[in-house]
Amino acid sequence: MNSVGGAILDARIGWLILGLFSLFWVFLGWWWGRKAKRLDEYMLAGRNVGMALAVATAMATWVTSNTTMAAPQLAFQLGVWGMIGYSLGSVGLLLFAPLARRIRILMPGGYTSGDFVRLRYGKLAWRVFLGISLFYAFGWLISLGMAGGVLVHALTGIPYQLGMTVILGICVIYTLLGGLRAVIGTDFVQTLIILIGIVALAWLAIDRVGFPALHESVRAERPELLNLLMPAALMFLFNNLLFGIGEIFHSNVWWSRAFAFRDGVGFRAYLTAGLMWVPIPIVAGFIALAAPALNLNVPAADMVGPLVAAQLAGVAGAVLVFIVVFAALASSLDSLLAATADLITQDIYRGHLRPDADDDQLRNAARIAILVLGVGTWLLCLPRLTTLAELLYFTGAFVASTIWPIAAGLYWRRANATGAVLGMLCGTGVGLYSYFAMGFYVAALAGAGVSMAIVVLSSWLWPGNFDWARLREPERTVLS
Amino acid sequence: MTMSLVWLSALVGIAILITLASTVVLLGLLIRDWKKRTLW
C-alpha cells in the first residue's frame, strides 16, 4: 500500500491560493454589502432576493465541507449507501419549500426562527429552542473550522491551527463587511466553483482509474462497501434523512433565507435547490471508492477525498480539491455566521437584554455577534478533538427533536407549548442516549421518533387553538 | 459485468449529468434575473 504521508502541495502554493481567494471573497463581500445600510438590508439582504441567487445560496449553504469532505469519508466507511444516504439530505431542502412559503405568509416581518417559536409557543419553549439552536450552530461552526484546518494541513503542510485561523478569519471579515448580501452574493460564485470542481474530480477518477478497475478493487478489498444490505449503512440512511430535515427545519440559516427571499420565490427556490442538490454527495463521495484501486493508505477517514484527488492528478488535483473545499467551507461558514449572529442579536440581545434597542444598535450588535462567534469557534477548533462526521452527528439528537415542534407549529393549531417543550427535551435526551449506546447513525432517528410521539400525543390530549394572526404581531418587548 | 458495476456506473453517471445540468440552470436563472432586474 502506498502511503501519502507528507503534504501534497508546496506550502507556498497553499498560501498563494488562500491569499488570492481570500482577497476575492473579501472584495465581493465588501462590494455587495456596501449598500446594506438599513438593518433589514444587513440581516436579510433587503427581503428581496431573486430566484437565481436564492437557489444558489440554498445549494451552496447545504454543500458544506461536510459534503465535500465527509461525503467521501462516508463513502469510504459505509460504501454506496453512505453516498446515497448523504444525498437524502436534500429531502430537508425539498420539505422546507412549503414551509418557506408559509413562513413568509405568516410572518412577513419576521427575523429569526426564534421569533416564530417565541410567538407560537411562548418563552420556555423559545429558550429551550435557543439552547438547541445555538448548540447546533456551534457544532456546525466547529466542524467547518476543523475541516478548513484539516484540508489546509493535508494538502499543503501548513499547520492545522494556522490554516483554520486563516479560513475562519476571512469568512468573518467578509460577513462582517456585507451581512447577508455578501453571504448570498458570494454563495452564487461558490456554487459554480463547487459544481464544476466536483464534476472535474469525479471525471478524473473515471478517466484515470475507470469504473471496472475501481469496482474490482472495492469488491476485492472492501466488499462491504457494495453491500446494499449493510445494516449500519441502512440505519445511517434513515438517520441522515431525519438529521437533514431537523437541521433545516429549525436552523435560522434557512429561516433567515425564507424571510430574505422576495415574495413567491421561497417555495420554488428551495424545491429547485433540493432537486439540484441530490447528486452532489454522490459525485463528491464517489472518488473515495477509488482509494483501494490506487492502493492508497488513508491515515484518517476524513482526509480520503483530498488524498485521492492528489493521487489522481498530483498538484493539479490537489489545487482543484483545495479550491472546491475552500468554496464549500466559505459558503457555509459565512451563512452560519450571519444567521447565528441574527439569532443572537434578535433573540438574545433584543429579546433578553435590550428590548428597546433601535436599528443602529441592533446592526452593531449583529457585527459584534459575528466577531464573537468567530473568536469562539476559533478557540473551540484549536484542539482537533474529533472527526468531522462524529462531531456533526453528535448534534443530530438535538436538531431532530425540533422537527415536529416546528412543522406542527406551522400547520397545526392544536400543537401546544407543553408538547413542544417536552418533545425537544425528551427527544434530545433519548437521541443522546442512543448516540452513546448504539452509535452516531441512530441519534437523529431516536430523537425525531420520541419528539413526534410527544408532540402528537400532547396535541391530542390537550389541544390548543392557536390564532395565526399572533405571528404577525410586531412584538418588540419580550421580557417584562 | 456484474450488476453492482452496472448500477454503480449508472448512479455516478446520472449524478454527474444532473450536476452539469444544474450549473447551466443556475447560469440561465442568473441571466434571466439580471435582464428582469430581479437579482436582489
pLDDT at A319 over 50: yes
The angle at the Cα of A335, spanning A332 to A338, to the nearest 5 degrees, equals 145
Contact between B9 and A211 using a beta-carbon 8 Å cutoff: yes
**Residue A415 in this model has a pLDDT that exceeds 70:** yes
Crossing angle, helix A160-208 and helix A304-343, to 10 degrees? 130
CATH number of A2-387: 1.20.1730.10
Q: Using an 8 Å Cβ cutoff, are A85 and A243 in contact?
A: no
In degrees rounded to 5, what are phi and psi of residue A140?
Answer: -70, -45
Kindly list the residues from chain A whose CB atom is less than 8 angstroms away from the CB atom of residue B40: 45-46, 48-50, 53, 181
pLDDT band at A386 (very low <50, low <70, confident <90, very high): low
What is the H or E stretch that residue A286 is in?
A: helix A280-286
Question: Among candidates A91, A80, A87, A92, which has minimal Cα distance to A233?
Answer: A80
User: Does the distance separating the beta carbons of A53 and B16 come in below 8 Å?
Assistant: no
> Which of B12, B30, B39 to mutate against chain A (most A CBs within 10 Å)?
B12
Residue A251: its pLDDT value, please? 92
Q: What would the mean pLDDT of A362-377 be, rounded to a whole number?
A: 95
- Mean pLDDT of the A318-347 span: 91
User: pLDDT-based confidence at A244, cuts 50/70/90?
Assistant: confident
Could you tell me the CA-to-CA distances from A324 to A186, A331, A395 in Å, in that order? 14, 11, 25
Cα B30 from Cα A269, distance rounded (Å): 13
Q: List the domain boundaries for chain A.
A: 2-387, 395-469
CB atoms B2 and A49 under 8 Å: no
For residues A140 and A394, the answer to whether their CB atoms sit within 8 Å is no
Backbone angles phi, psi at A418, to 5 degrees: -60, -50
A263 touches A76 (CB < 8 A): no
Q: What is the mean pLDDT of residues A255-276?
A: 96
Report how far Cα A330 is from the mean position of its chain's Cα atoms: 11
Cell output for A439: 452509535
Give mean pLDDT, residues A200-204: 91
Percent of chain A with pLDDT over 70: 94
Q: Is pLDDT at A429 greater than 50 in this prediction?
A: yes
Grid cell in block for residue A382: 484549536
Lowest model confidence (mean pLDDT) among A223-237, A245-259, A264-278, B19-33: A223-237
How close does chain A come to B7, measured CA to CA in Å?
Answer: 10
Find the chain A residues whose C-beta atoms sit closer than 8 A to any C-beta of B: 45-46, 48-53, 55-56, 59, 80, 84, 181, 188, 191-192, 195-196, 198-199, 202-203, 206, 211-212, 215, 219, 226, 262, 272, 276, 278-280, 282-283, 286, 289
Stretch A373-389: mean pLDDT? 82
Section A154-177 average pLDDT:
92
Per-residue pLDDT tens for A105-117? 999 999 999 999 9
User: What was the pLDDT predicted at A383?
Assistant: 84
Identify the DSSP state of A262: P
Q: Do B29 and A49 touch (CB under 8 A)?
A: no
Query: Rounded to two decimals, what is the model's pTM?
Result: 0.90
User: Grid coordinates standing for A11?
Assistant: 506550502
At A427 the pLDDT is 95
Rounded CA gap, A199 and A193, in Å?
10
Residue A332's pLDDT band (boundaries 50, 70, 90)? confident
The torsion angle over the Cα atoms of residues A454, A460, A464 and A465, rounded to 10 degrees, is 130
Is residue A333 very low, low, confident or very high in pLDDT (cuts 50, 70, 90)? Answer: very high
Position A229 scores a pLDDT of 67
Picking from A45-49, A74-78, A425-429, which range would have the lowest pLDDT averaged per residue? A74-78
CB of A163 closer than 8 Å to CB of A149: yes
φ/ψ region of A439 (left if φ > 0, alpha if ψ in -120 to 50, else beta) reads left
What is the mean predicted confidence (pLDDT) over A270-281?
94
- Cβ proximity of A141 and A373 under 8 Å: yes
Candidate from A66-70, A259-263, A432-436, A444-448 with smallest mean pLDDT: A66-70
Hey, what amino acid is at A8?
A: I
Supply the pLDDT for residue A216.
85
Q: Contact A299/A1 with Cβ under 8 angstroms? A: no
Please, which residues have CB within 8 angstroms of residue A331's CB and are 6 or more apart in sequence? A60, A61, A63, A64, A186, A187, A190, A191, A194
* DSSP letter assigned to residue A371: H
Side chain identity at residue A284, one-letter code: A
Report how far residue A330's alpha carbon sits from residue A168's, in angstroms, rounded to the nearest whole number: 8
Q: Name the band, by pLDDT with cuts 50, 70 and 90, for residue A478.
A: very low
Query: Quick one: DSSP state of residue A9?
Result: S
Q: Interior CA angle at A52 toward A43 and A167, to 5°?
A: 55
Q: Residue A26 has what pLDDT? A: 94
Phi, psi of A467 (to 5 degrees): -95, 110
